[in-house]
Chains A and B, each alone.
Chain A
Amino acid sequence: MASRRRMLLKVIILGDSGVGKTSLMNQYVNRKFSNQYKATIGADFLTKEVQFEDRLFTLQIWDTAGQERFQSLGVAFYRGADCCVLVYDVNVMKSFDNLNNWREEFLIQASPSDPENFPFVVLGNKIDVDGGNSRVVSEKKAKAWCASKGNIPYFETSAKEGFNVDDAFQCIAKNALKNEPEEEIYLPDTIDVAGGGRQQRSTGCEC
């Protein structure tokens, strides 16, 4: 295992400011949630080792600033992405409406070779807030949009409670892997992230 070249999978997290991108990334990589994350300025990334049968992959997760005004920076960071995660806040309609913009902006700036089949994953975050009572985007509506964009896998998450975050990232990793050139990888039908059993909630990963 160690002798093999470790493959880097690059994942970009996009979405409006404050939807919880930084929180999700930290929950997944460091298994913690803090109320004190600062608004992201510029960009940063965390990496996590992902085991996959007998192979190790490095998931490089890029967290960027959500404010529209900084979007022009994206081009520097999006290039070479293997998967793009679109996040919205289920309690904020605008953040859902903007998913389309984020998706298009990403495709323009990253200009992947096969935009039609480029893997996206959508996360509806903050489902814990107010016991779900302040929710304004229904699961149904979100799934419908995902279906219309080529069956994008969809997850509902809470970065705060750590709910569904691992599952979502397993799917993300798997999709990122799928995006790699054929000869580089060998694709088994299960992926085991952090060794845990995996139970999928929501639509789950169609791959």
Chain B
Amino acid sequence: MQEPELHDLSDDADYAASQQQGSASMMRSDSGKHSSSSEHDGAEVVYMKDNVTIHPSMLASERISGRLRLIKQGSSLFMTWIPYKGQNSNARVSDKDRILYTIRPVPMTDVRSIRRHTPALGWQYIIVVLATGLAFPPLYFYNGGVKEFLATIKQHVFIVRSAEDANVFIVNDFQNPLQKTLSSLEIPRALSVGSEPSTSFSVGEASVDENQERMSVDIQNDNINISQYNERQRQKAHDPARDLSIQVLEKFSLVTKFARETTSQLFRDSHSNGYGAIERRSNSLSSIDYPSQKASDDWDKVPDKSPVPQDPLEFDKLSLVWGKPRQSPLGSDEWFTFLDSEGRIMDSEALRKRVFYGGVEQKLRKEVWPFLLGYHDYDSTYAEREYLKAMKKAEFETVKKQWQSISPEQARRFTKFRERKGLIDKDVVRTDRSLSFYDGDDNPNVNLLHDILLTYSFYNFDLGYCQGMSDLLSPILFVLEDESESFWCFVKLMERLGPNFNRDQNGMHSQLFAITKLVELLDSPLHNYFTQRDCLNYFFCFRWVLIQFKREFEFDKTLRLWEVLWTHYPSEHLHLYVCVAILKRYRSKIIGEQMDFDTLLKFINELSGHINLDAVVRDAEALCICAGENGDACIPPGTPPSLPAEDGLLYPQQELDDVL
């Protein structure tokens, strides 16, 4: 792969800019070296880094590089970032953008926190959140130096690591860390902060506030009320939502032009289901007058740009590491806090959210999965569940008897039965046999798989058995270790995923179609690439979708992913965003190597076992939130795992004749 081109700074005309800003005496020293050059006001540059870059959109090709400096004047420390002028290589970035994103000296006393991101792939970057709640766009350090940056700040101002997140550094946090941050962090007001073209270097003058209004354009039509914060703060002493607010802010600072509209919807039409905490948060944000007129006028100045990059090799060097960090899995002690004395789950949404962000400990899965799958109602009691278990066991046995009572004689005249059983026989011995739970000859668990699947094919004779089902059942049996309970949980899962196995493949087609649309929405260059390469059928995602990534991750990771997906927390269709997230992770490879359909299919098949689950889930969450309603609109109604409409046959009659 090609390295991102580094700009030869000797040709840059950034001197002009820096001179304009009053830092004429800045030495062109080596990147990162602490240079101490005195300025006319007695200011001293204590840190300087070249090739620190902002990506106005998610395209790596659209970027503004500049110089980041920390300047000390008296006892105050200022941060400033000034883009280079005349980067001919990057015609996409207009001067307006350069001016818009310029960070005029900001005193560190105005900085609330700095989050450091050091993705394994791509460049390190920081996000600087101001005390006002505004956040600058991420600053990517093309030449490294984040650590040094933070170390330098530490020498001059009080800075502490956040207890919640080791990558967050709280600045100036003398008194009440929580109180102070909450009110500021939760204001999702600005997506990015820029400043007017400034003519004078005005150290000490807060250059941000005056621009807040015009910079809030992306949510211009939204009505946001910040007056309710105090009330909510009380509930939030240790609420991870606090961290979420940082996340939200960061997301907003990342929001690119392409996602502008979709994201603003997050805060507008927040009454639809599916956005969980973020939605609830935004519900309480209502009615503040935004100077929308002014804002939109201002926005018009920024020309719209086509996101089609010139050089495919430059794609997406930055990774989308901006979902919420994963938590540790839910354990027993915490689980009991979700239950009332009779065993009801008091706040199912909170539970789902908890599971979404952390998963469930292995030994607790047995308890939690039946809820996630919808086999148990959240408001059922211990006693009701025990009763259900007994009833359902009897019902299971009845269905099982139906095939058990078929004698060999009868079977001889019952081709459909023999064929169906034959398929299942063949598949259960090819399912997860490398796990000790299923290995060896005459393993009783393999027999259980067989019996459950055959029973299911009688329970739902129209759908019958289809390859892939054994992959879906295996983890459930592994977790529940009970034949009847596994059967009913599998039934529940198949209520949602059954259409994947329809003869006409409609469930699969609608999902692959939705992926096409989502990629078009969230990564149009990649979409264009697939179009060119005649890859729009997305068959290379077939296995991912059919069996919910079962073959793509190690067994225990699959369990984790499934419980996360089953929460339906940010979206019922998060798995589609997972597909997009994976494709986006590898987009530069796919495009860079000019993969054709065959190569792509092979490449994707061979990704199996090499995908970073946590990263992909985080990306998927971020993409899902970013896509908002436009994302929903990409997904046809009834697309699995949506529950099918109540009316009508699940499996249309004309197909039944062909089905085994």
- 9 additional contacts (CB under 8 A) given A18-B427, A39-B470: A36-B434, A38-B431, A39-B468, A41-B467, A45-B598, A45-B601, A69-B466, A70-B505, A76-B537
Which of A60-68, A155-163, A190-198 makes up part of the contact surface? Answer: A60-68
With the chains together, A94 CA to B658 CA distance in Å? 15
Is the Cβ of B543 less than 8 Å from the Cβ of A69? no
Interface residue count for A (Cβ, 8 Å)? Answer: 25
Complex contacts, A73 vs chain B, CB 8 Å: 505, 539, 542
Is the Cβ of A69 less than 8 Å from the Cβ of B598? no
**Interface 0/1 of A67-106, CB less than 8 Å to B:** 1111011001100000000000000101000000000000
Is the Cβ of A39 less than 8 Å from the Cβ of B466? no
Complex contacts, B602 vs chain A, CB 8 Å: 44-45
Is the Cβ of A39 less than 8 Å from the Cβ of B467? yes
Which of B114-122, B341-349, B366-374, B418-426 makes up part of the contact surface? Answer: B418-426
Complex contacts, A35 vs chain B, CB 8 Å: 429, 433
Complex contacts, B468 vs chain A, CB 8 Å: 39, 41
Is the Cβ of B542 less than 8 Å from the Cβ of A42? yes
Question: Which residue on B lies nearest to A41, using beta carbons?
Answer: B543
Is the Cβ of A70 less than 8 Å from the Cβ of B601? no
**Interface 0/1 of B500-523, CB less than 8 Å to A:** 011111000000000000000000
Is the Cβ of A39 less than 8 Å from the Cβ of B546? no
**Interface 0/1 of B143-162, CB less than 8 Å to A:** 00000000000000000000
Q: Does B660 contact A (CB under 8 A)?
A: yes
**22 contacting pairs across A/B (C-beta < 8 A):** A17-B427, A18-B422, A18-B423, A18-B427, A36-B434, A39-B430, A39-B468, A41-B467, A41-B543, A42-B539, A45-B601, A45-B602, A67-B423, A67-B467, A68-B658, A69-B502, A69-B659, A76-B537, A76-B539, A76-B597, A92-B422, A94-B419
With the chains together, A45 CA to B542 CA distance in Å? 15
Complex contacts, A41 vs chain B, CB 8 Å: 467-468, 471, 542-543, 546-547, 551
Question: Which residue on A lies nearest to B535, using beta carbons?
Answer: A76
Q: Does A37 contact B (CB under 8 A)?
A: yes
Q: Does A108 contact B (CB under 8 A)?
A: no
Question: Which residue on A lies nearest to B505, using beta carbons?
Answer: A72
With the chains together, A77 CA to B505 CA distance in Å? 16
Question: Which residue on B lies nearest to A10, using beta carbons?
Answer: B598
Q: Does B286 contact A (CB under 8 A)?
A: no
Chain A residues with CB under 8 Å of chain B are 17-18, 35-39, 41-45, 60, 65-70, 72-73, 76-77, 92, 94
A17-B423 contact given A37-B430, A39-B470, A70-B467, CB 8 Å threshold = yes
* Best-surrounded residue of A18, A38, A45 (most CB of chain B within 10 A): A38
Is the Cβ of B605 less than 8 Å from the Cβ of A44? yes
With the chains together, A83 CA to B454 CA distance in Å? 36
Is the Cβ of A39 less than 8 Å from the Cβ of B426? yes
A8 to chain B, nearest CB (A): 9
Is the Cβ of B546 less than 8 Å from the Cβ of A42? yes
Complex contacts, A42 vs chain B, CB 8 Å: 539, 542-543, 546, 605
* Best-surrounded residue of A39, A65, A72 (most CB of chain B within 10 A): A39
A132 to chain B, nearest CB (A): 20
B660 to chain A, nearest CB (A): 7
Is the Cβ of A36 less than 8 Å from the Cβ of B598? no
Question: Which residue on A lies nearest to B606, using beta carbons?
Answer: A44
With the chains together, A41 CA to B502 CA distance in Å? 15
What are the 5 tightest A-B residue pairs by CB atom distance, in nearest-first order? A18-B426, A42-B542, A42-B543, A41-B543, A67-B467
Question: Which residue on A lies nearest to B545, using beta carbons?
Answer: A42
Chain B residues with CB under 8 Å of chain A are 419, 422-423, 426-427, 429-431, 433-434, 466-468, 470-471, 501-505, 537, 539, 542-543, 546-547, 551, 597-598, 601-602, 605, 658-660
Is the Cβ of B467 less than 8 Å from the Cβ of A17? yes
With the chains together, A67 CA to B422 CA distance in Å? 12
B640 to chain A, nearest CB (A): 15
Complex contacts, A38 vs chain B, CB 8 Å: 430-431, 471, 551
Our pick among B467, B501, B601, B658 for the contact of A43 (Cβ within 8 Å) is B601
Complex contacts, A68 vs chain B, CB 8 Å: 658, 660
Complex contacts, A44 vs chain B, CB 8 Å: 601-602, 605
Question: Which residue on A lies nearest to B432, using beta carbons?
Answer: A38
Complex contacts, A65 vs chain B, CB 8 Å: 467
Question: Which residue on B lies nearest to A60, using beta carbons?
Answer: B598
Question: Which residue on B lies nearest to A36, using beta carbons?
Answer: B433
Complex contacts, A45 vs chain B, CB 8 Å: 598, 601-602
Complex contacts, B598 vs chain A, CB 8 Å: 45, 60
Complex contacts, B546 vs chain A, CB 8 Å: 41-42
With the chains together, A45 CA to B602 CA distance in Å? 7
Question: Which residue on B lies nearest to A77, using beta carbons?
Answer: B539
B47 to chain A, nearest CB (A): 52
Is the Cβ of A69 less than 8 Å from the Cβ of B427? no
A197 to chain B, nearest CB (A): 32
* Best-surrounded residue of B422, B434, B658, B659 (most CB of chain A within 10 A): B422
With the chains together, A100 CA to B469 CA distance in Å? 27
A95 to chain B, nearest CB (A): 10
B541 to chain A, nearest CB (A): 9
Complex contacts, A60 vs chain B, CB 8 Å: 598
With the chains together, A45 CA to B423 CA distance in Å? 23
With the chains together, A72 CA to B547 CA distance in Å? 18
Complex contacts, B502 vs chain A, CB 8 Å: 69
With the chains together, A69 CA to B501 CA distance in Å? 8
Is the Cβ of A67 less than 8 Å from the Cβ of B433? no
With the chains together, A67 CA to B471 CA distance in Å? 15
Complex contacts, A76 vs chain B, CB 8 Å: 537, 539, 597
Is the Cβ of A36 less than 8 Å from the Cβ of B430? yes
With the chains together, A18 CA to B419 CA distance in Å? 12
B445 to chain A, nearest CB (A): 15
Complex contacts, B429 vs chain A, CB 8 Å: 35
With the chains together, A17 CA to B468 CA distance in Å? 12
Question: Which residue on A lies nearest to B540, using beta carbons?
Answer: A42
With the chains together, A94 CA to B423 CA distance in Å? 12
B312 to chain A, nearest CB (A): 24
Question: Which residue on B lies nearest to A22, using beta carbons?
Answer: B430
With the chains together, A69 CA to B503 CA distance in Å? 5
* Best-surrounded residue of A69, A72, A76 (most CB of chain B within 10 A): A69
With the chains together, A132 CA to B55 CA distance in Å? 67
Complex contacts, A66 vs chain B, CB 8 Å: 467
Complex contacts, A36 vs chain B, CB 8 Å: 430, 433-434
With the chains together, A70 CA to B545 CA distance in Å? 14
